[in-house]
Chains A and B, each alone.
Chain A
Amino acid sequence: MRVTVKLFGPERQAAGADSVGVDVNDGATCADVRTKLGEAHAGLGESHTRFAVNQSFVTDDHVLSAGDEVALIGLVSGG
């Protein structure tokens, strides 16, 4: 299953891209995606980041489905 992870802020700068695609097995969790991200780009696998799936925060044990909208959310700085 191909998962496209949206990137913002410091993570977008680290990767030099708005999104990164990773291949994971069906039934993969966000933790699996985190591992793949860390392998692909130094700085993207860090534990202070959170995943959002379909625009809601989830924990790393969240199981992904095909077509999910996945985003990696690092330290935010609004206001």
Chain B
Amino acid sequence: MSARVIITEGPLPPQPPQPPQGGAEAADSSTGAVGVVGVVGAVLVFDGIVRRNEDGKPLEALDYTAYEPMAQNQIGAICDELIASLGLTSIVVEHSRGRVPVGACSFRLTITSPHRKEALRACDEFIDRLKQDVPIWKEPVWA
């Protein structure tokens, strides 16, 4: 059971991570998502993409800032709670800082679990908590 938090400059790479493969235990090389083969039955990847409109106004990009050490701690604590309460195998959270243009990915959540229901529920709960308790802010850059 593991949680990993990665905050990186600019947009996240577009490739979704691959599910764990091979061996008794495998780690995805791009995200570090760890799963025990034969135990993991669901790999859920959620990408948050910057839309072209915000409140009906055309957007060029979003600028993200974070109170980074606290954001890392808060995300880690939320992941640990969800892993314990829902029996997940792993969570990897990637979030951008700095400028992310329209159409690019600013947030990626990768969850592995034995069953899909827990992964889907964890995705929803994590994003709700992110938008409430994690000190990250976005500012619009208007077109």
**Which residues in A have some Cβ–Cβ distance to B below 8 Å?**
6, 8-10, 52, 55-57, 71, 73, 76-79
Contacts and interface: CB of A to CB of B under 8 A. Distances in A.
16 contacts: A8-B65, A9-B65, A52-B135, A55-B69, A57-B133, A73-B67, A76-B133, A77-B131, A78-B71, A78-B95, A78-B137, A79-B95, A79-B107, A79-B127, A79-B131, A79-B136
Q: Is chain A's binding surface mostly helix, strand, loop or mixed?
A: mixed
Nearest to B73: A55
A16 B69 CA distance: 22
Interface string B53-82: 000000000001111011101000000000
Contact of B135 (A10, A73, A79): A73
A10 B67 CA distance: 13
